[in-house]
Amino acid sequence: MQNIENTQKKSNMQKVALTALAGTSIEWYDFFLYGAAAALIFPTAFFGEMPPTTALLLSLLTFAAGFIARPIGGIIFGHFGDKVGRKKTLISALMLMGISSTLIGLLPTYAMIGVAAPILLTTLRFAQGLAIGGQWGGAMLLVTESAPSDQRGYYGAFAQAGAPIGVILANLALIITSALVSEEFFNTWGWRIPFLASAVLILISMYIQLNLEDTDAFKALVDNKDTQSDENIKKSPVVEAIRKYPKRIFLAAGAFLSVQVTFYILIAFMLAYGVTSANMARDDMLAAVLIASAIMVPVQFIFSSYSDRHGRKGIFMSGAVLTGIWAFAIFPLVDTGNFYLIVLAITGGLVFLAMMYGPQAAFFTELFSTEVRYSGATLGYQFGAIVGGAFAPTIAVKLWTEFDIIWVSAYIALASLLTLISVMALTETYQSDLNNTD
């Protein structure tokens, strides 16, 4: 009987993990598809009358609009995630992303409606950011709060793996679409096809609604509310998280800086840099990012499992140090124009990031108590995202064009140093009880 029960629990856990992986993969696919398009397509489609460098900068600024929205989405969805549940909030975030991304695929260009085109594009990008701001906390908690206490890192990696898989799907979508249609058709209409495919998120949202339950930790919280005072029930989880854990939120944001700065330089800025500086074909750069992201996925699970046995902080700090050192090897390798060395440059960066990003879901979960966990973890994550990732490609372009590419490496190294300091200031969490976090 015990074996049957254990088998059932494991099967349910795998279903939760794979569903979270599917949802986050498509969600990040949408977010990263925009990043690739912002570097390669949107400067011409939505800023066609501008000089090329100006058009690229403006296009990357619309990319940044999604990051500006992320902490706002984190506050909104964090509030409801701690009030009405992880599942309902995750479904809402997935639906918002599916609708906004599909509408981007239907947008008229600058040539069709003039200045209204980039305004609408920025608005929909902002909606994408709101969705991502809520999605991560919902998917991450759905998995980590459901996982066995000694496997939170491993199962949390399913939510984290959505990011590199999203990059793979986005780049594959652009490569396949580009291969199937002419260059002229791709630049005018073909790029829309991958965005229209985002409608699949609506189906995943329906599956989650019909097949998954909320986490035991949140159910226990709801049950306990019967014994709480009316004042406590009415408190805003976001306000409570900031009041109770200001230092942890600040340090969690700092811990995320290196991941965000380096990741978006490698998957967004690198596309434009490789095509312009190393004279690489667009599809070759997309393929290089795709290969590196594919390697990042299993590596994340390895490092996350390691963190279950040996702790979150050590592997996290090692990743920050190695990322800062590798930053100075990336661009010399890309400048060779050799495809395999470019793959090595990007892969090295993403593997070192995996040492941080893989264990991060469990680490951030364990930093906060149940009643404010969605809000606290999301605030740390999303504020780190806006400071680290929002303007990383734009800053990289400015450093590259006005100074020298080595300053982009220094920028990555500085972010890694700040992450190292932040993680050192946080406490180790891997043996904590999620119901007793102070």
Q: What are the boundaries of each domain within the chain?
A: 14-224+246-425
Q: CA quadruple 378, 383, 386, 389: dihedral positive or negative?
A: negative
Q: What are the pLDDT digits (tens) for 52-92?
A: 878 888 887 887 787 788 778 877 877 776 777 667 777 77
Residue for token pair 């600040």: 250
Average pLDDT, the chain: 82
pLDDT, tens digit, for every residue of 90-112? 777 878 888 888 898 888 888 88
| 229 pLDDT more than 50 | no
Is the domain 14-224+246-425 a CATH 1.20.1250.20 member? yes
User: pLDDT tens digits for 320-371?
Assistant: 999 999 999 999 999 998 999 999 999 999 999 999 999 998 888 888 887 7
What's the pLDDT tens digit per position in 296-311? 999 999 999 999 999 9
Q: Which pLDDT score, from 0 to 100, does residue 212 have? A: 61
Non-local (6+) Cβ contacts of 391 within 8 A are 64, 67
Q: What pLDDT score does 416 carry?
A: 95
Taking only the tens place, the pLDDT of each residue in 386-435 is 788 777 888 888 898 889 899 999 999 999 999 999 999 998 887 777 76
pLDDT tens digit string along 141-198? 778 877 888 888 898 888 888 888 887 888 788 778 878 878 778 777 888 888 888 7
pLDDT at 80: 74
pLDDT of residue 322: 97
Q: Specify whether the CB–CB gap between 324 and 352 falls below 8 A.
A: no
Choose among 337, 338, 317: nearest CA to 426.
317
The CA distances from residue 392 to 67, 200, 257, 411, in Å, are: 11, 29, 10, 9
Residue type for position 74? G
Structure confidence at residue 233 (pLDDT): 44
Q: What is the pLDDT of residue 141?
A: 78
pTM tops 0.85: no
**Highest mean pLDDT pick, 161-175, 219-233, 256-270, 338-352:** 338-352
pLDDT given for residue 24 in this prediction = 78
Given this model, what pLDDT does residue 407 score? 94
pLDDT of amino acid 295: 93
Q: How many CB atoms lie within 10 A of CB 424?
A: 13
Per-residue pLDDT of 82-92, as tens digits, reads: 777 667 777 77
- For 197-208, what is the mean pLDDT? 72
How far apart CA 436 and CA 438 sit, in angstroms, is 6
Whether residue 249 is predicted with pLDDT greater than 60 in this model: the reply is: yes
Mean pLDDT (whole number) for 200-214: 66
SS3 187: helix
Neighbours of 84 (CB within 10 A): 14
- What the block records as the tokens of 245 is 């854990």
State CA 414 to chain mean position distance: 21
